[in-house]
Amino acid sequence: MIVHGAWGGSWAFRRIEALLEARGHRVHRVALTGLGERVHLAGPEVGLSTHVTDVVNHIEFEELDKVVLVGHSYGGMVVTAVADRIPARIRRLVYLDAFVPEDGESVMTLAPGRDQREAWVRPMVKDGFIVPPWIKPEQPLPHDVPQPLKTFTEPVSLKNEAARRIPATYILTVEKGSKEDDFAPFAERARARGFAVETMDADHNPQWSAPEALAERLDRAAAVR
């Protein structure tokens, strides 16, 4: 199961779904409330807990078990909390260039980088949404959409020790020639937790820039028992 990142939608992983299904996997792409194809449900009241419930409900209503749960970028916040809610349903977590939170952290308070994140996000806030400059409403669908601010400010609640025992993989994407990477500190946090950590040559959105390589990495992560 793949959980997309901020401003995006499950549509962004359509190619990855096809590649993984060709390798024999059954793939679910969850559209988070207010984003992507569910943008019509957007509102400032939509928060991180809304998105966690989106994924938990999908797993429970589809009666899924032994789920390999992939979170991209902001999706790392979501999958971490989902695992805390229903750890018995999750076989492995995969963080794709994603945030790795501790209890009580939000995207805006997550260390390291909270000051830089605050300085980057706050100027883009309008009417309860984060609206970055690359979002152009006149673009043909599908395209990125404004992100409810509450999804970045609501803290994650992690109380279930069983979730800490779920095996996990962290895939860090690094562009060739790059000397700094915003998500490298979270890969180190993952390593400190005992996650398997891999690095691949790609930008932050390998589902577009390196789909075949990403599918291979996800296939390999899913095969680990």
Catalytic residue set: 73
Rg (CA), the chain: 16
Kindly state the tokens that stand for 78. Answer: 């979501």
Kindly state the tokens that stand for 101. Answer: 């939170």
Cβ atoms < 10 Å from Cβ of 25:
15
Query: Phi and psi at residue 97, in whole multiples of 5°?
Result: 45, 55
How many Å is the maximal CA-CA distance in the chain?
Answer: 46
**Strands laid side by side in the 147-148 sheet:** 125-126, 129-130, 147-148
- Looking at residue 163, its amino acid is A
Q: Which of 217, 170, 222 is nearest to 196 (CA)?
A: 170
Helix (H, G, I), strand (E, B) or coil at 13: helix
How many CA atoms within 13 Å lie on the side-chain side of 130?
A: 22
